[in-house]
Structure 1
Amino acid sequence: MSLCIAAGGKAIVLAANLFTLSWQHSVERTEWREAWRITPAGLELVEARVKGSGAGIDPPEGATLIEGWWVWKPALPAQPRLVLAASGATASGWSVCVGDECVKLGDRAGEPVTLEPCPNGKSD
C-alpha cells in the first residue's frame, strides 16, 4: 500500500503500510502523534499519544501515561482520507513520517492537505 499526499498543488507518494502524523498543539505547544495504518478499507488510526495534558488536551478514559506521553487507542472507523487545514496561524504544520523519513506539510497558509490511500494501492 502507499499513501498519497496532496499539498499545495503537489502530489507526494510514500510507499508504506504505516505512517505517523504529528504536530504541535496550538495552545499548549505540546507534541501530538498519531499512528495510522493504510488498508484497503481506508486509513485506520492505530494509536494516539500526546505529551502532557492541558487546554484542549483531555486524554480519554483508559489512556495510559507512559514516559510523559498519554497513549490510547481511539475508537474510530477507517477513514477514506484525512483533510488537514493549513491556516498558517498555528504553532506548526504537520510531519508525516514513514520510519525515519519525514515530510513537513501545512506550515504556511494555503490549500488543505489531503492524505489518502493511493488508488488501487499503487505507488506510481
Structure 2
Amino acid sequence: MICLLAGTKVVPLLAGAITLAWTHSVEKVLWEEDWRSGPAGLELVEARVRGSGAGMEPPPEAEFSNGVWKWHPKVPLLREVVLRRSGATADWQICKEGRCQPMSDLVPPDVDPVVMQPCAGP
C-alpha cells in the first residue's frame, strides 16, 4: 500500500498502485506517472506526457500514440518520493482506479513537503 506523509499526518491511500499527475508549470501540459508499492519500495512503472519542452522531453525510447508520449522509466526502487508544493501551480493529483482528486483533498494544502512511501496495509 502507498501512504502520504504530511507533517505528522499519515494518510494510507488504500491502494498498491496509483497515478501521480500534475500540470507542468511552464508548458501547461499534463504529466502522469504510474507508481506501484512493493516490499522493496516504490516502483515507477510508466510515465506519460502530452507535450515536450522546458526540461520535459520524453526519452528516446518513448512511444507517441494518440497525442501522448509513453515510456517505462529505468529508475531503481525508491524508499520515498518527495512531493513539493510551490503554490505557483495546481496541486498534485492522486488517481486510483481511474478517479483523480487533488492531493489537498487528502492532506492539508499548506503542508510542504509531502512524502509518498510504501506503508503497511490496514
Same fold (TM over 0.5): yes
Look up the match of 2:96: 98
- Per the TM alignment, residue 15 of structure 1 is displaced from its structure 2 partner at its CA by 1.6
| More off after superposition, 77-86 vs 5-14 | 5-14
Look up the match of 2:14: 15
Fraction of identical pairs, as percent: 45
Look up the match of 1:111: 112
Q: Could you list the runs of 4 or more consecutive aligned residues of structure 1 that deviate by over 4 angstroms after TM superposition? A: 106-109
- Per the TM alignment, residue 65 of structure 1 is displaced from its structure 2 partner at its CA by 0.5
Structure 2's unaligned 5+ residue stretches are none
- Per the TM alignment, residue 109 of structure 1 is displaced from its structure 2 partner at its CA by 5.0
- Maintained 8 Å contact 1:37/1:44: yes
- Maintained 8 Å contact 1:87/1:110: no
For 1:11 and 1:104, the matched residues in 2 are separated by 16
TM-score normalised over the length of structure 2? 0.87
For 1:8 and 1:105, the matched residues in 2 are separated by 14
RMSD: 1.8
For 2:115 and 2:29, the matched residues in 1 are separated by 23
TM-score normalised over the length of structure 1? 0.86
Look up the match of 1:4: 3
Higher strand share: 1
Q: Which amino acid aligns with 1:26?
A: S
Distance 1:23 1:68, change over 3 A: same
- Per the TM alignment, residue 29 of structure 1 is displaced from its structure 2 partner at its CA by 0.4
Write out per-residue CA displacement over residues 38-70 of structure 1, whole angstroms, 9 at most, x where no aligned residue: 100100000000011122221101100011111
- Per the TM alignment, residue 5 of structure 1 is displaced from its structure 2 partner at its CA by 0.7
Q: Which amino acid aligns with 1:49?
A: R
Query: Number of paired residues?
Result: 119
For 2:65 and 2:56, the matched residues in 1 are separated by 16
SS in 2 for 1:60: coil
- Per the TM alignment, residue 96 of structure 1 is displaced from its structure 2 partner at its CA by 1.2
- Per the TM alignment, residue 100 of structure 1 is displaced from its structure 2 partner at its CA by 3.4
**Is residue 65 from structure 1 mapped to residue 48 from structure 2 by the alignment?**
no
